[in-house]
Amino acid sequence: MNINHHLDEATLFSYVAGSLSQGMALVVASHISICDSCRERVFETEAIGGALLNEMVSDNSSDSSASVKVDETALEQVLACLDEEEPTISLDSSLSDGEPDACSPGNTGEVPAPLSDYIGGSLDAVQWKRLSPGFYYFDVFKEQRGICRLLKVAPGKSILPHGHHGNELTLLLRGSYADEVGRFAQGDVADLDDQIEHQPLVDGNEDCICLVATDSPLRFTTLLGKVIQPITRF
């Protein structure tokens, strides 16, 4: 699999710290289960976090009178992480298999192991719901503000133009699309923040299926998008 688009540093850090929403953590876990590069970066980020923690502990124990310049925000973040429960989708569980779960029934190799726990091993066996001609969805789960869902869009169709109030993570599972950011194909992840406005167009000759997670409602930029937003629940 030739992966060209990866997770950004802020997302990786939040994932390691366990501060992502459940849906976004599922997208990250799914991507790193098939991307050697991002998996290595997760391990490096974990090592940096561990080293920072060790340094803080040893500094405090060796010389309590020393003036240690540790950024208070960083300290609060580390302490907050220690207090938090383990994320539902943890690094260990996401990496336990390393490869799409070839043992699960009907696995076609397109469904990363962390996702197969939720939908099974075949994209063709998903109970798709029709949104409009050429658009289908399946909600993996809903969250307080965001959503985690599978989208299936027919060739030549495009998503209505929109921006974001928060972050949007998209993992391509089948097919491809192009937008203002670039072209995305199987294995690629689009890691977008609130600065990006885009209109993805399915540019291949097969359905584009992707796993999308948001942590805030989208910001549609056309009247039609705003009108149908309550229906799409994006």
Pairing of strands 183-184, 135-142: unpaired
39 binds Zn ion (CB under 5 A): no
- Closest separation in Å from C-beta 138 to Zn ion: 24
The rounded distance, in Å, linking the Cα atoms of 116 and 120 is 4
- Closest separation in Å from C-beta 5 to Zn ion: 8
Q: Pick out residues in 1-20 that bind Zn ion (CB under 5 A).
A: 6
Residue placing its CB nearer to Zn ion in the complex, 28 or 140: 28
DSSP 8-state symbol, 123: G
The rounded distance, in Å, linking the Cα atoms of 134 and 228 is 16
**Number of residues in the chain:** 234
Residue placing its CB nearer to Zn ion in the complex, 38 or 151: 38
Contact stretch for Zn ion (CB under 5 A) within 28-36, 76-84, 159-167, 210-218: 28-36
Cα radius of gyration rounded to whole Å, the chain: 19
- Closest separation in Å from C-beta 38 to Zn ion: 3
Residue placing its CB nearer to Zn ion in the complex, 38 or 115: 38
Binds Zn ion (CB under 5 A): choice among 28, 38, 173, 190: 38
The Cα angle at residue 40 between residues 174 and 90, in degrees rounded to 5: 75
- Closest separation in Å from C-beta 43 to Zn ion: 13
H or E segment to which residue 83 belongs: helix 72-83
Contact stretch for Zn ion (CB under 5 A) within 31-39, 104-112, 129-137, 149-157: 31-39
Contact stretch for Zn ion (CB under 5 A) within 37-45, 106-114, 156-164, 204-212: 37-45
User: Burial, 4: exposed, middle or buried (Cβ in 10 Å; 0-12, 13-18, 19+)?
Assistant: exposed
The rounded distance, in Å, linking the Cα atoms of 232 and 219 is 13
Binds Zn ion (CB under 5 A): choice among 35, 140, 169, 171: 35
Residue placing its CB nearer to Zn ion in the complex, 91 or 218: 91
Q: Pick out residues in 159-218 that bind Zn ion (CB under 5 A).
A: none
Q: Where are the extended beta strands (E) located within the chain?
A: 129-132, 135-142, 147-153, 162-164, 168-174, 177-178, 183-184, 189-192, 201-202, 208-214, 218-220
DSSP 8-state symbol, 158: B
Residue placing its CB nearer to Zn ion in the complex, 3 or 218: 3
Residue placing its CB nearer to Zn ion in the complex, 32 or 148: 32
- Closest separation in Å from C-beta 9 to Zn ion: 12
- Contact positions vs Zn ion (CB under 5 A): 6, 35, 37-38
